[in-house]
Every structure is written in C-alpha cells, then in structure tokens.
C-alpha cells in the first residue's frame, strides 16, 4: 500500500510569485483535502476534492486553487504569494466522502521571502 | 462544526499513562470524535475515532461520557517516542464539504 506523497518537500519563493504543490493520494483513495499549517498552529482546511471537483472550501481567498486528476492525484496552486503564505502545506487522502480518517503526507514546507 | 478545547501542553514520564481531555459542549448528534497525533515536520496521523462510550485499539483508548460533551484520549505506558502534538476533532463522519479543521492541539512531552 503506497501512502500519500507530496512534492517538493521544501520550496522557497518570492512574494508575488506563483507556486504549484503536488500530491499523490494513497492507493485506493479518491478524495483529497489540502491543509495549511503555520508554525505552532494546527492545520487549517483549505479545500477538498472528490471525483475531480471541489467539494468544500475553507476560509481561503480565490488565489488558492486546486485540481484533482483522473488518477486522484492533486495540485494546490497559490498565486500572488504573500509572506503570510509561508507554512507547511499538507495533503490528506481518504476514500469516498467519508473523509475520516484522513491519511496525511508529510507536507511541503513553503517559504515566501 | 463543534468547537473543541484541550489543554495546551502536558508533561509526563516514561511508563506512565497520559490522559488528554477535550471539551466539545456543542457537539451535534451526528458528530464523531477523532484524535490525531503529529510529530514535527510530519503530517498528522490518525489515532482513534469514536461516537460514544469507549473505543480501544492497539495504541490508545477513547472514553466518551453519556452526554458526549467531552472525551478523553488515554495513552497507556507512554514512551519518549509518544512526544508529539495531539489534536481532538469533532465533526460528521462524512466530512464531505465540511470544514474539518484542527484546533491548537495538546503538546505532550514525555520525559525519561
């Protein structure tokens, strides 16, 4: 059984740039959720994708967008990066719309300078 | 979604039992209680989930009183490797479209 993998593991970007983060879901899972975790805080829900469609969104601006592909892998895109976007971005996969328990990857550490 | 309150931190010693209580006064009828563990620079890991009374697995027990307004995660005989942040979440088991969000968690430090 292959777990959730995320790439890259670390990334440094400049304010105003755009970034794409990638996630491969665990084998057999068709739902992907993305979370942002600032240093010292709990993960905050960004959005969820089920069967290639956005299926719920947290309190994040439209410059945070995503995609889910037919193989259930997913991308998180962030445009016009701001310094406050510096965080650990976590991807979690699950099966169906019962998304508990979530299986998390180890995240992408994004630093915006 | 139900708001949860848990202690910010707890210290313990190897071999002791650690109990972390989570308050969720406005839990809804269809809400489940789920606990995750997170080590530094890793994603959270599912520990246990329950709806009422007691649930036990190979790593922990979850105690839920009849009114379900709180729950207690019990870690038996902790070791140094149990040092982590523990998150309590309350929400529908079917979280589709729901904003399953983590609170601040409880930082557990296990000392030798």
pLDDT tens-digit profile of B56-68? 999 999 999 999 9
Q: What is the dihedral of CA A7, A8, A11, A13, to 10 degrees?
A: -60
**Location of structure tokens 């995609």:** A67
A98 close contact with B: CB closer than 8 A: yes
Give the E-state strand segments of A51-102 in sequence order. Answer: 53-57, 64-68, 74-78, 87-94
> Could you tell me the pLDDT band of residue B102, with boundaries at 50, 70 and 90?
confident
For B31-83, list the strands marked E by DSSP. Answer: 31-38, 45-50, 53-56, 61-64, 70-75
Q: Which two tokens stand for residue A9?
A: 């593991």
CB of A13 within 8 Å of a chain B CB? The answer is no
For testing contact with chain A, the best of B44, B47, B93 (most A CBs within 10 A): B44
Q: Would you call A98 and B44 a contact, using CB atoms and an 8 Å cutoff?
A: no
Per-residue model confidence as pLDDT tens digits over B69-89: 999 999 999 999 999 999 999
């Amino acid at each position: 059984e292959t777990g959730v993998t995320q790439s890259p593991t670390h990334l440094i970007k400049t304010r105003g740039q755009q970034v794409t983060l990638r996630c491969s879901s665990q084998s057999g899972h068709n739902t992907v959720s993305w979370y942002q975790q600032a240093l010292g805080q709990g993960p905050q829900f960004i959005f969820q994708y089920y069967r290639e469609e956005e299926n719920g969104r947290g309190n994040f601006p439209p410059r945070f967008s995503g995609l889910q592909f037919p193989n259930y892998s997913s991308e998180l895109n962030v445009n016009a990066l701001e310094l406050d976007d510096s965080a650990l971005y976590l991807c979690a996969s699950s099966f169906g719309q019962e998304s508990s328990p979530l299986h998390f990857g180890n995240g992408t550490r994004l630093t915006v300078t | 979604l139900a708001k949860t309150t848990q202690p910010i931190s707890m210290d313990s010693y190897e071999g002791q039992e650690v109990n972390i209580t989570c308050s969720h006064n406005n839990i809804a009828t269809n809400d489940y209680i789920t606990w995750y563990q997170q080590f530094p620079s890793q994603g959270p890991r599912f520990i246990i989930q329950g709806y009422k009374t007691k649930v036990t697995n190979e790593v922990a027990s979850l105690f839920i009183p009849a009114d379900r307004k709180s729950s207690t995660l019990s870690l038996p005989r902790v070791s140094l490797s149990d040092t982590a942040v523990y998150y309590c979440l309350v929400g529908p088991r079917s979280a589709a479209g729901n904003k399953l969000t983590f609170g601040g968690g409880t930082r557990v430090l296990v000392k030798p």
